[in-house]
Amino acid sequence: MRVVAILMLLLVSTAGAITDADYSITKSKKSAAEISGMGYHGTHSARISVYPGGSSKSVPISISPTRIEALDTLKLWLHPASNRGSIELEFGLDGDSDEKSSTTDPDDASILISLASWSDGRWADTGGNSNGWREFDASESRADIKSRDSQKSRKDVSWSEAQDILRGMDVVRVYIRLKGATKYEGVSCYVDYVRIAGEVISFEPLERDSIKKAKQSSVSPGSTITYTITYGNNLEVPADIVIREFYDQRTLFLEAYPPPDPGTNNVWTIRGLRPGEHGQITVKVKTLRGSCTAGFDGSVSGVGYASVYRRLSTEREAYYVTNSVRIDGGGINRSASATTKVRSQAGFVFEFAEHGSGSYESSDDMDYSTTSIVFQSESLANRSPVTLNLSTRAIDYNSTWGLRWSCENQKLTSYMREIYYGDFINLSGTGIMRSTRYTFESRGSVEGMADLRYMTGGSEVGTRLYGSFRLGSKGVLQKKSR
């Protein structure tokens, strides 16, 4: 027998982040965009630099396609850092629904806006009288439209004119582009708190983490799953944030850092979270093992017809647990979830059956827990015809005694089965099953037939005996040591 193990890869289901706008900050020899420790909103921003010899550097932002006529917010904060330069915005519009904006496709178009310029780190439009952080609104600036379609191309239009001309087209990409005034001196500036199409980008290190993330994609039953929850404040004023966890019923809350609100195990209230500030909560839960213990014992004696059947199994099917979180406050009202597979657990299946007619004495004792089964039985059976007198009629029995016991250990791919048939059976048996080892012993005498089979690791031995015999069988099935 060949055992084929099927490995299933399950991706951790990740939910959205505090911002779903996707931006990329990259460095090259002549320019760079990087997260800096100087922020307007929160403690970080994007620092964009063009080095001497370079000409421009863009931070591209992808958004989900948004109709140009519906796009009424594009605001950002800028802070000139050095020398002379300007910020240009480019909107990439898609007119043929391929979610791409191409400069060579007449169906597509782009809008260019010269948003701000400075000299020696001071704002040019104030005559050099002001510097520092300042908010700019693209919809208040003049725009040029570029397209291979001459019907769309325009120079120096207002935002609302551009919206009219390009009505029905989708904005899919926005570039924040820094241009140096000369090729020789280099230039740099900071960008923070970009608001576009309902998304906020604050260039904070945690804003792109999933709101809810499970550390493990799969675990074994009874082990721990660690979740990380990321929250933030997307507003410009301090905010109270409430985070609520919804635990899967098959998980048990263990601990969290920071600890939940007093008297709860699933609510965190973060008071006065500063604008742009983000934080994380780590939550540990335990998956249920489905623990179970049981004991059976019984004895029967007398003359008549008997039939006994016992089956016990410790195997477990795989299942999935999903924990969800909801974040309210700070302009972020979102829920997210993470799903983890709890792997199946190989176990053992034990069966015991006995039936026949005549005189019969039997006792068995079975103890069962999630990790072991201990079974002991004694049977003395003598075949004879019996009549069962029921109130309406009598039934005659004259059946051979049959006794069967088997144990399959799925983890060891081992199996034992002993079947006895006959007119006389006097047997005692013991089996102790644990996950890595199974020992069994049976002894006694039989008039009839015995069919004994043992299989482990793909090889099987079997014996069949007929007649009147005494027997003693004893075995250990265990994992091969390598």
Binding residues (CB under 5 A) for Ca ion: these are 39, 41-42, 44, 94, 96, 98, 100, 108, 192, 202-203, 276
> For every residue of 81-148, which 3-state class applies, written as one string?
EECCEEEEEEEEEECCCCCCCCCCCCCCEEEEEEEEEEECCEEHHHCCCCCCCEEEEHHHCCEEEECC
Is 59 in contact with 89 (CB distance < 8 Å)? no
- Choose between 116 and 201: whose C-beta lies nearer to Ca ion: 201
Closer to Ca ion by Cβ: residue 205 or 295: 205
DSSP secondary structure letter of residue 115 = E
Task: Report the C-alpha gap between 366 and 407 in whole angstroms.
Answer: 13
Phi, psi dihedral angles at 142 (to 5 degrees): -80, 150
Nearer to Ca ion, 37 or 262 (CB): 37
Least CB distance from residue 330 to Ca ion, whole Å?
14
Range list of H helices, 104-180 = 159-165
Residue 39 or 232: the one with the smaller Cβ distance to Ca ion is 39
Residue 93 pairs in a beta bridge with 109, 171
> Least distance (Å) from Ca ion to the CB of residue 289?
45
Least distance from Ca ion to the Cβ atom of residue 278, Å: 10
* Distance separating alpha carbons of residues 138 and 126, to the nearest angstrom: 18
Judged by beta carbon, residue 77 or residue 348, the one nearer Ca ion is: 77
Q: Which is nearer to Ca ion, 41 or 152 (CB)?
A: 41
The nearest distance, CB 170 to Ca ion, in angstroms, is 9
* DSSP code per residue over 318-358: -EEEEEEEEEESTT--EEEEEEEEE--B--EEEEEEEEEEE
Determine how β-strand 218-219 pairs with β-strand 334-342: parallel
**Least distance from Ca ion to the Cβ atom of residue 235, Å:** 12
CB of 46 to Ca ion, least distance (A): 8
Q: Kindly state the smallest distance separating residue 97's Cβ from Ca ion, in Å.
A: 7
Q: For Ca ion, which is the closer residue by CB, 202 or 410?
A: 202
- In the bound complex, what is the minimum distance in angstroms from residue 236's beta carbon to Ca ion? 11
Decide whether 46 or 450 has the Cβ nearer to Ca ion: 46
Q: Which token pair is 264?
A: 């709860």
CA–chain centroid gap for 74, Å, is: 34
**Number of helices and strands (H, E) in the chain?**
1, 32
d(CA 57, CA 177): 6
The Cα–Cα gap between 206 and 316 comes to 38
CB 25 within 8 A of CB 239: no
